[in-house]
Copies of this chain bind each other. A is one copy, B any other.
């Protein structure tokens, strides 16, 4: 169903006059127009009955149209009072008072004060959960984009694998990966590309740096691309030269844990059950204290989005949900391994979007 129609139905169901969407990711989701307006006003206002409109900086109006927004657009110049313009256009399309839905986890206090000063709104409702619930299941068009984004992430790991050589630094490997992606048209990574080698891979928030990679290292890659407005996120840990027994044991435990969660994905399974599927493998192998983070997170327009997959989340998975599965073991100062896939829940089970091999790859460059 069209996203605007879904929002109108929600407004009518809960007797809310209007929904004002200002989080740029959500504006993109409902309008197709991706923009970061910084401190300038950007938003989509949706009403029970009346047609929605987009408000944006005047110079972005052509971009919004060419992005596919066919509705009304209110363009504001820097010299104009954008909130006043919002009020004039909106008040003609809605009842005098009543409730308004806003993204309380995004709107700032000063904008909220301006909004409540202009509109005679009886109550401001949090729209966040509704938008999260809409975004959490992806349609076929979104899934296709996420597949393409995952394919680019696979390619990035391939480039990383063939770039490894004795003495190359983590930053140099990262740079080669990003260069190769730029040549394929990738303009933005979904977060800072991470390359961690040797003992640094054992720090879950280590930073890519000047360490020279050497034979015997495990090298952890964590990266993703932004593709047509959607994100991918992959982690692979490769062995540069022959791994020792402990490295192999840790790797195979993480792999078994990752596969246990992936193979448990189907409609109806809960996030907590998926987390437990991975965690129990790692605990049974005696590494439980070294798996220090949640299993994964939702993935889509944002690289970290709703839901969070952790042991206290009893939310049931549904077909169309896309998220990461990324167990890891980090033995401080010694060995760190994480394996992360992007997966989609299907009608019957799971589609794994990231396809780079997961058996331990031993690189002999």
Contacts and interface: CB of A to CB of B under 8 A. Distances in A.
Contact of A110 (B78, B126, B310): B126
A106 interface: yes
A132 B142 CA distance: 41
A182 interface: yes
Interface string A105-128: 111111011000000000010101
User: Taking chain A's interface residues, is the majority helix, strand, or loop, or is none over half, making it mixed?
Assistant: loop
Given A179-B175, A179-B179, A304-B38, A205 B59 contact: yes
Interface residues of A, number: 33
A102 interface: yes
B182 A175 contact: yes
A107 B110 CA distance: 8
B105 A107 contact: no
B104 A107 contact: no
Interface string A138-149: 000000000000
Nearest to A63: B205
A39 interface: yes
Contacts of A208: 187
A171 interface: yes
Contact of A109 (B39, B78, B102, B171): B102
Interface string A70-105: 000000001100000000000000000000001011
A205 B113 CA distance: 31
Nearest to A205: B59
A233 to B, nearest CB: 14
A292 B179 CA distance: 34
Given A59-B205, A109-B109, A179-B179, 20 more contacts: A39-B105, A60-B205, A78-B294, A79-B312, A102-B109, A104-B108, A104-B109, A104-B110, A104-B113, A105-B108, A105-B109, A105-B110, A106-B108, A108-B108, A108-B109, A109-B124, A112-B112, A175-B182, A187-B192, A187-B208
Interface of A: 38-39, 59-60, 78-79, 102, 104-110, 112-113, 124, 126, 128, 171, 175, 179, 182, 187-188, 192, 204-205, 208, 294, 304, 310, 312
